[in-house]
Amino acid sequence: MNTKQGYSGIDRFRIVAALLVVAVHTWPLVSLGVLPDFIFTRVIARIGVPFFLAVSGFFLLAPYAESPKASPAPVGRFVRKTAIVYGLAILLYIPVNIYAGHWDGLRSVGDVLKMVLVDGTMYHLWYLPAAILGAVLVWLLLRYVGLKGATIIAAALYIIGLFGDSYFGFVGQVPWVNAAYQGIYTVSDFTRNGLFYAPIFLLVGAWAVRRQALPRKTAFIGFGAALVMMVAEGLVLFAAGTQRHDSMYILLPVCIFFLMVWLASFRGASSKALRDISLVVYVIHPWVIVLLRGVATPLGLDTLLVNNSVVHYLAVCIISFAIAIVLVWLKGRLLPGKKRQAAPKRAWMEIDMAALEHNTHLLQSLVPGGCRLMPAIKGNAYGFGAVPVAKALYRFGVRDFCVASLAEGIALRKQGVKGNILILGYTHPDDAPLIKRHHLAQTVVDAAHGVALAAKGIPLPVHIKVDTGMGRLGERSDHPDALIQLFTLKNLRVQGIFTQLSSCDSRRPEDVAYTRHQVANFKAVLEGLGQRGIPLPQTHIQCSYGILNYPELAADFARPGLAIYGIVDEACCFGPAPDLRPIFQVKAGVALIKEVRQGERVGYGSSCVAQRNMRIAVLTMGYADGLARSLSCGGGQVLLHGQRAPIVGNICMDQAMVDVSDIPAAAAGDIATIIGPSGGAEISVTAFAKAAGSIPNEIVSRLGTRLERAYIVNQLENTAHAAHKVRALPKAVYARYQKLA
């Protein structure tokens, strides 16, 4: 999903949906006649609640819907937030329930559980437990039967619910069917309360994600046609008298699907305020109905404010929205959220977590079914921050990580990183207690290392490294007896076996042949183990370019490094590079603009002598921050106002100078882009590395610790990307940053 822009159409329709929900509970057209009110309130307005469910599914299930091979995103956060809202709503309506005697009929614990967990403690609150139940059920279905299987099951549940709702009259005369539905009604007053209703609309939201390419006009026509047919369906059922209730129609999921696709086509800045206002209106409008009726009687305004259904509806809407707006405003003043971060003073890195999520699910979709990602977060996650990156990946569904050293693994555990962590490098056997204490897995780098680890008498989970031709760590693949011995050592619990491909990023025929040779060696090892009756542990062989160039290799894990951070050299890909998005940009401030006359010198060593009168911008970034010194004297460039400015003179430890003579708009306080896009230009990390005579791996891992890391966790408006001045950053950009490290 493109997260550069929000879904403004969806956000705006939330207000319409809230108005429709209010209509369901106020019957606004009943003064004009039963039939007009039925059409509007009991058919058209019924799209309000399923719309909210579909929106939840749209965002909650979006990564899975785009890449079905990915693991479904965990629903814990959604469940917690919804449960908190539900708990507050229950407390809010305690006075109303006591006054109205709604709890007088409760006779047992079962009655209380039914009310709280299924029917809701107020007539409109059933939606919240239904959303929780539906989300958990959909998550389980996606894990075990996939999107299509989950949709089939949810559709079957919806059909069952349909015949207990609008179509009950067609089946209610059959004794055993009637008895079955009566059993359902003892658990839930209506079949729309959860199991038979919520899952299908959550999945409709997921399908809307997959069909966003549908033309806007087609989606609108589809929505209009489905709505008209649903009205006709409702009128037929109304005339036939088959409806026990009127929440479920055959055309309702179709209507919601086209509505969601149509609304998703309207892109723009998202609005949390609209989301919050619509939620508050949904929760509080029954309170407003009660208060309005209570005030109207003593004031003698019953005829106007209560009996006139149109005025009553408008009054409830106006008061509900006024209260919601005030509450949302107060929330923003009293609970402003994360404290605004000050703009960096020197140089910094912007890390886009949405791009990291996109890359994660894209790579998961490229590996064979059953293969899971084990991202490499060594070297402080290649410089991007191992702790925030690992925690974000865990939220995206990743459960396995690999690091280079014991110290890296311990640091992650001390910061609360969950999941399985494999140490890829050598760990001294004396540190075996630390491996066990911090619940890490260790790579056995050769047979002697395995024997030494086992001799410590501490049960350890290990992965065996096989050297198939890399010539680095690992027991040689042509030493089968040594490899087999590792499986027999008492204290080693072998969980995995893997190798490293040395040339999978090369298209040269001899390198491709060598990669195939390594793969054959690894397969021969696995076959040899099988022939000796040794159960095979989990396997992994692919790194980033292994995934991109040899996606057919079947294994239990794949270990993406640079690729998961969006760094790929197209020249190293066998085909077109996939849509991996760089997760970072590097920027620095312009301290001042200096006039340099012809013949004057710039920088250490007098390496630059001005051949003309020049304007020099002094950047607040040097080689101690990761700006490679090999880029000195015209070897590299930066971007200012979308134009390229060559580096002049030698790069200093803390500053660098660039020529802005041909960029008249350049001024002190500007932002220079070192790596990333600016205007219509871009300096990729690959281009930066080539200019520096290095490789992207080295460049990103050597970006200095002095660089501040700002993690973008919300969507940025387009105007934020256009900010040029450092002094504008706090308002335009950094108010939307959350520092995670």
7 and 270 in contact (C-beta within 8 Å)?
Answer: yes
What pLDDT does residue 209 have?
81
- Average pLDDT value over all residues in the chain: 88
Q: What is the C-alpha to C-alpha distance for residues 5 and 647, in angstroms, rounded to an integer?
A: 34
Decide if pLDDT at 212 tops 80.
no
pLDDT tens by residue, 289-302: 999 988 988 888 88
Question: Helix 198-210 and helix 48-60: axis angle, to 10°?
Answer: 60
Q: pLDDT band at residue 114, thresholds of 50, 70 and 90?
A: confident
Decide if pLDDT at 2 tops 80.
no
Decide if pLDDT at 1 tops 50.
no
Q: What is the dihedral of CA 565, 566, 569, 572, to 10 degrees?
A: 80
544 and 563 in contact (C-beta within 8 Å)?
Answer: yes
Q: What is the mean pLDDT of residues 454-474?
A: 96
What pLDDT does residue 741 have?
26
Q: What is the C-alpha to C-alpha distance for residues 158 and 197, in angstroms, rounded to an integer?
A: 6
Decide if pLDDT at 541 tops 90.
yes
Decide if pLDDT at 736 tops 50.
no
Residue 158: how many CA atoms within 13 Å on its side-chain side? 24
What pLDDT does residue 738 have?
32
DSSP state of 578: P
What pLDDT does residue 679 have?
83
* Residue ranges of domains in the chain, CATH in brackets: 8-333 (no CATH), 351-572 (3.20.20.10), 584-738 (2.40.37.10)
What pLDDT does residue 314 have?
95
Q: What is the C-alpha to C-alpha distance for residues 734 and 599, in angstroms, rounded to an integer?
A: 41
What pLDDT does residue 210 have?
78
Q: Which stretch of 99-113, 126-140, 595-609, 721-735 has the lowest confidence by average pLDDT?
A: 721-735
What pLDDT does residue 67 have?
53
What pLDDT does residue 64 have?
64
Residues labelled catalytic: 378, 604
What pLDDT does residue 739 have?
32
Q: What is the mean pLDDT of residues 256-261?
A: 95
Decide if pLDDT at 22 tops 60.
yes
Q: What is the mean pLDDT of residues 389-408?
A: 94
Q: What is the C-alpha to C-alpha distance for residues 451 and 733, in angstroms, rounded to an integer?
A: 54
Strands 681-683 and 637-640: unpaired
Q: pLDDT band at residue 66, thresholds of 50, 70 and 90?
A: low
What pLDDT does residue 63 have?
62
pLDDT tens by residue, 629-686: 999 999 999 999 999 999 999 999 999 999 999 999 999 989 999 999 988 899 999 9
Q: What is the C-alpha to C-alpha distance for residues 146 and 284, in angstroms, rounded to an integer?
A: 37
Q: What is the mean pLDDT of residues 194-210?
A: 91
Amino acid at 134: G
Secondary structure, 3-state, 652-720: CCCCEEEECCCCCCCCCCEEEEEEEEECCEEECHHHHHHHHCCCHHHHHHCCCCCCEEEEECCCCCHHH
Q: What is the mean pLDDT of residues 420-427?
A: 97
Q: What is the C-alpha to C-alpha distance for residues 521 and 659, in angstroms, rounded to an integer?
A: 54
704 and 624 in contact (C-beta within 8 Å)?
Answer: yes
**DSSP helix/strand/coil, 216:** helix
* Six token digits for residue 32: 């004009």
What pLDDT does residue 74 have?
65
Q: What is the mean pLDDT of residues 332-340?
A: 57
Q: pLDDT band at residue 150, thresholds of 50, 70 and 90?
A: very high
pLDDT tens by residue, 686-695: 999 999 999 9
* Six token digits for residue 488: 């027999």
Helix (H) or strand (E) holding 57: helix 48-60
DSSP state of 318: H
Decide if pLDDT at 604 tops 50.
yes
What pLDDT does residue 345 have?
65
Output 29 or 718, whichever has higher pLDDT: 29
What pLDDT does residue 126 have?
92
Q: How far is CA 497 from CA 101, 203, 428, 523, 558, in A?
A: 66, 38, 20, 11, 12
Q: What is the mean pLDDT of residues 240-264?
A: 94
